[in-house]
């Protein structure tokens, strides 16, 4: 029997705690989000050193529209600035950028930038960064089901062929492997509608560190703990 690789190939991250980080400093929540954006660069750049090929980050959920208008529009501005400001660095670092989530509700300027950076980095292959923006796991499954139903109605898909291998082809993540490890920062132990289908057999790590404090060293510690996990995917140890 050959040794299985010890590191996760795909890490998904719920970047929680930006608001509290800012609050602890008596600063506006948006400052925490800006600090969080800087951490994204550090963690993405660390991935190749740890053998992580795919990193998927939860930037804005389908539920985050419930926040104040000021916070929502501040976050949208931050996403635009991130794409514009990081483009050259992402290109240089060999990062391929993709987005998952429903783009329809996002403004056109942001949608155009998302499309632009996806095309710009499409030939990169060192790290695959997927940004979940206006993303919700239930919403994704519902949208996938709608597309699948259209194929059935049009006679392109036989209902008898619908199975757990068919549906993922309709998910936003259809080109990505399932996450091996899901990390949530800030001490909350819930998954908040993130990658519900894809994380069926993922390992979870809930860490107390607030996202803006989640350094490369913290990331390395979490990855080391993953190396000790015994993943059986419903089977038994050989």
Asked if 31 and 22 touch (Cβ cutoff 8 Å), the reply is: yes
Shortest distance, position 228 Cβ to ligand FPP, whole Å: 28
Taking the C-alpha atoms of residue 77 and residue 83, their distance in angstroms, rounded to an integer, is: 10
Q: Which residues bind ligand FPP (CB under 6 A)?
A: 15-20, 33, 36-37, 40, 59, 64, 78-79, 82, 131, 186, 211
In three-state secondary structure terms, 208 is: coil
Integer angstrom CA distances of residue 75 from 21, 81, 108, 116, 210: 16, 10, 15, 19, 18
Minimal CB distance to ligand FPP: which residue? 19
Residue number with CB closer to ligand FPP (33 or 144): 33
- Which active-site residues does the annotation give? 16, 64
Burial of 80 (0-12, 13-18, 19+ CB in 10 A): middle
Residue number with CB closer to ligand FPP (55 or 131): 131
Residue number with CB closer to ligand FPP (15 or 144): 15
Shortest distance, position 158 Cβ to ligand FPP, whole Å: 40
Asked if 90 and 117 touch (Cβ cutoff 8 Å), the reply is: yes
Residue number with CB closer to ligand FPP (20 or 147): 20
Taking the C-alpha atoms of residue 142 and residue 156, their distance in angstroms, rounded to an integer, is: 19
Shortest distance, position 7 Cβ to ligand FPP, whole Å: 23
In three-state secondary structure terms, 163 is: coil
Shortest distance, position 71 Cβ to ligand FPP, whole Å: 8
């Amino acid at each position: 029997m050959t040794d299985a690789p010890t590191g996760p190939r795909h890490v998904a991250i719920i970047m929680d705690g930006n608001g509290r980080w800012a609050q602890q400093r008596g600063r506006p929540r948006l400052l925490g989000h800006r600090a969080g954006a800087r951490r994204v660069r550090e963690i993405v750049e660390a991935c190749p050193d740890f053998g992580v090929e795919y990193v998927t980050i939860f930037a804005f959920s389908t539920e985050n529209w419930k926040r104040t208008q000021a916070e929502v529009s501040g976050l949208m501005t931050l996403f635009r600035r991130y794409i514009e400001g990081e483009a050259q660095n992402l290109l240089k670092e060999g990062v391929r950028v993709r987005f998952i989530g429903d783009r329809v509700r996002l403004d056109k300027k942001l949608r155009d930038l998302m499309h632009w950076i996806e095309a710009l980095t499409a030939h990169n292959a060192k790290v695959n960064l997927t940004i979940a923006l206006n993303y919700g796991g239930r919403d994704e499954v519902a949208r996938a089901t709608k597309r699948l139903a259209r194929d059935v109605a049009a006679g392109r898909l036989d209902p008898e062929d619908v199975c757990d291998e068919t549906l993922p082809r309709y998910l936003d993540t259809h080109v990505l492997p399932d996450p091996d490890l899901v990390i949530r920062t800030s001490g909350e132990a819930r998954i908040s509608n993130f990658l519900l289908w894809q994380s069926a057999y993922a390992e979870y790590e809930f860490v107390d560190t607030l996202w803006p404090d989640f350094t490369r060293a913290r990331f390395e510690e979490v990855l080391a703990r993953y190396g000790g996990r015994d993943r059986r995917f419903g089977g038994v140890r050989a």
